[in-house]
Amino acid sequence: MDDEDSGLDKWRSQIRKGFLELCVLAAIESRGRAYGLDLMEGLSASGLDVGEGTIYPLLSRMVREARLDAEWETPERGHPRKYYRLTEEGRSALVIMRKEYESGYASYRSLRAIKEESLES
């Protein structure tokens, strides 16, 4: 792997981490609460393949950061599941993350539009 590939891999990893956190918070918000496998399946259905080695450490960190509350429940059938809910801190973080993402994406689209206009000229 050359330096350029290494730099792109690092960029890809960093952007994915932030985007994944935004998506997890949004998915939990839309469901009201969710457990890990439910989140993994929902993210996968949306085109974001996430493994256990990624989702569970992320959920644990967000609990430590008080963005999520976690509670174990044992259904009548099946095994116990840890359900996650947004805290007020998590809701606030989600609002900020959405604004940042939308602002950044709007800037990118604006730059692309400028390029496309210059190509048409």
> What integer pLDDT is reported at residue 2 of this predicted model?
65
> What integer pLDDT is reported at residue 121 of this predicted model?
61
Q: What is the pLDDT along the chain (121 residues), one digit of tens a residue?
A: 566 678 899 888 888 889 999 999 999 999 999 999 999 999 999 999 999 999 999 999 999 999 999 999 998 998 999 999 999 999 999 999 999 999 999 999 898 887 666 666 6
> What integer pLDDT is reported at residue 114 of this predicted model?
78
**DSSP collapsed to 3 states, the chain:** CCHHHHHHHHHHHHHHHHHHHHHHHHHHHHHCCEEHHHHHHHHHHCCCCCCHHHHHHHHHHHHHCCCEEEEEECCCCCCCEEEEEECHHHHHHHHHHHHHHHHHHHHHHHHHHHHHHHHHC
Does residue 67 form part of some domain?
yes
User: Using CB atoms within 10 A of its CB, is residue 59 exposed (0-12), middle (13-18) or buried (19+)?
Assistant: buried
Query: Which pTM value belongs to this model?
Result: 0.85
Does residue 55 form part of some domain?
yes
* Total of domains in the chain: 1
> What integer pLDDT is reported at residue 115 of this predicted model?
67
What CATH number is associated with residue 34? 1.10.10.10
Does residue 4 form part of some domain?
no
> What integer pLDDT is reported at residue 6 of this predicted model?
83
Does residue 6 form part of some domain?
no
Does residue 5 form part of some domain?
no
Can you give the residue range of the structural domain that contains 99?
A: 11-120
> What integer pLDDT is reported at residue 73 of this predicted model?
95
φ and ψ of 41, to 5 deg: -65, -40
